[in-house]
């Protein structure tokens, strides 16, 4: 709870009561081992975490929602998730003398050591492990699509082998020690996300509105329409996911009482959300406008030509999901290593990290190969875990923490609302 890191002497006013062994473990764990990130690290880490392959399914989600509900859901999701992300940034250091470096530490502080873990960790793991499995499938499918486009006369290769090829990159990259060490990968991924999103809506504009375009619901029954509607909401929730790693990203930024980490973090978040808007809204609205309800669940499939451009876009997707996989895997690595070192008393070492991380990558690869339709479950995961952890759990934590400190310690917190005047949350 409130794990301390290398900058504690600058940030914390109370005496550090950790043992030398605990300090060594915290200095080894991926989340707390490095705190020298800049604000732009926050920008491209958040872009990589949010603007995933889910953006390519937004036109399909619009086709299941319709113009009115679809536009409304997109705009409200952008505003609400922007607001809850700001709350997460504020809560990182809202308790004097502590930094909540991990999402579950907020839950532990609000609900207690054990209950907080049981409430937050399962949802967080569903999101992070689920996204990594989906990205295994997405990376493999994009590699296969690239191969089939550039070599149409070549022998067809099964998707299984492309997933294995994609996973081979992670058997290497997963051994980078912490968030700051994957900053280059994350930057490349952020650039790629903006690139393939631009290709998606740009190529759609080039094709123009199709002659037989229709905007009505595809389902012929009321039950089917309702099911598709809620499935689309799950797809939108998946597209806006990213809050699960916000505190972990902020923990890499140095902080002092004079220069708290929330200042550079918030600057990076603003840049990230501008990029999110530039990616999401053109792809969703233009894609649906041009193809109507005949758009595929991946707009790059609908866009068959020009072949060279679509092939390049698929390769951009591959590069992006490589970075996204690492962003979501790093908190999982931190959880695994915390259990190994603090609970099971393993000594921090490279071979323990080598084995544990390879097992995780192997597990996500195995599930992706066994269930290549895993992406079809995004609607379910979106409702079960993405929506709570992204849209409203942070607000619930905020109220509990404010209530706790007002009643127990007589502290009233006043924070500056990013869009208006100062407001009291007491």
pLDDT, tens digit, 9 for 90 and up, residues 252-305? 888 887 888 888 999 999 999 999 999 999 999 999 998 888 888 788 888 877
Cis ω before 358 (30° cut-off from 0): no
CATH number of the CATH domain containing 268: 1.10.4160
Alpha helix locations (H) across 208-296?
222-239, 246-250, 262-291
Residue 2 lies in a domain: no
Residue 1 lies in a domain: no
Give me 217's structure tokens.
């619901």
**Closest C-alpha among 246, 10, 242 to residue 105:** 246
Residue 183 lies in a domain: yes
Question: Residue 413: its pLDDT value, please?
Answer: 39
Domain count, the chain: 1
Residue 236 lies in a domain: yes
Residue 222 lies in a domain: yes
Range of the domain at 294: 8-424
Residue 38 lies in a domain: yes
Q: Which residues of the chain have pLDDT under 70?
A: 1-19, 21, 374-426
Residue 186 lies in a domain: yes
Q: What are phi and psi of 257, to 5 degrees?
A: -55, -35
Chain CA centroid to CA 357, Å:
19
Question: Residue 325: its pLDDT value, please?
Answer: 93
Question: Residue 423: its pLDDT value, please?
Answer: 36
Residue 3 lies in a domain: no
Question: Residue 156: its pLDDT value, please?
Answer: 86
Q: Is the pTM of this model over 0.75?
A: yes
Question: Residue 378: its pLDDT value, please?
Answer: 55
Give me 266's structure tokens.
């918030």
């Amino acid at each position: 709870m409130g794990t301390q890191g290398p900058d504690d002497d600058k940030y914390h006013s109370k005496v550090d009561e950790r043992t030398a062994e605990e300090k060594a473990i915290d200095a080894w764990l991926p989340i707390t081992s490095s705190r020298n990130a800049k604000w732009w690290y926050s920008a491209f880490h958040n872009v990589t975490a949010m603007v995933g392959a889910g953006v390519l399914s937004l036109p399909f989600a619009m086709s299941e929602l319709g113009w009115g509900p679809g536009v409304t859901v997109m705009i409200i999701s952008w505003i609400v998730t922007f607001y809850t992300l700001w709350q997460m940034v504020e809560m990182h250091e809202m308790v004097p003398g502590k930094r909540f470096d991990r999402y579950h530490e907020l839950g532990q502080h609000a609900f207690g050591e054990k209950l907080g873990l049981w409430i937050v960790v399962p949802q967080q793991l569903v999101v992070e492990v689920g996204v990594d499995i989906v990205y295994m499938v997405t990376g493999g499918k994009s590699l296969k699509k690239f191969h089939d486009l550039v070599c149409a006369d070549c022998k067809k290769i099964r998707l299984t082998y492309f997933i294995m090829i994609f996973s081979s990159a992670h058997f290497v990259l997963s051994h980078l020690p912490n968030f700051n060490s994957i900053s280059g990968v994350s930057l490349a991924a952020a650039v790629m996300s903006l690139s393939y999103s631009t290709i998606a809506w740009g190529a759609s504009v080039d094709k123009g509105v199709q002659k037989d375009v229709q905007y009505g619901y595809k389902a012929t029954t009321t039950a089917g329409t309702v099911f598709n509607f809620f499935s689309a909401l799950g797809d939108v929730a998946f597209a806006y996911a990213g809050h699960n790693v916000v505190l972990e990203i902020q923990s890499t930024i140095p902080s002092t009482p004079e220069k708290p980490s929330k200042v550079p973090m918030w600057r990076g978040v603003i840049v990230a959300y501008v990029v999110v808007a530039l990616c999401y809204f053109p792809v969703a609205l233009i894609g649906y406008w041009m193809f109507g309800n005949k758009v595929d669940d991946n707009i790059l499939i609908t866009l068959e030509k020009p072949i060279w451009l679509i092939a390049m876009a698929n390769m951009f997707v591959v590069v992006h999901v490589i970075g996204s996989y690492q962003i979501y895997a790093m908190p999982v690595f931190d959880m695994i290593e915390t259990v190994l070192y603090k609970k099971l008393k393993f000594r921090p070492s490279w071979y323990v990290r080598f084995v544990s991380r390879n097992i995780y990558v192997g597990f996500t690869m195995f599930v992706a190969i066994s269930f290549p339709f895993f992406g079809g479950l995004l609607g379910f995961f979106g409702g079960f875990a993405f929506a709570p952890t992204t849209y409203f759990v942070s607000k619930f934590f905020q109220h509990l923490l404010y209530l706790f400190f007002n009643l127990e310690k007589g502290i009233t917190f006043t924070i500056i609302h990013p869009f208006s005047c100062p407001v009291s949350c007491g």
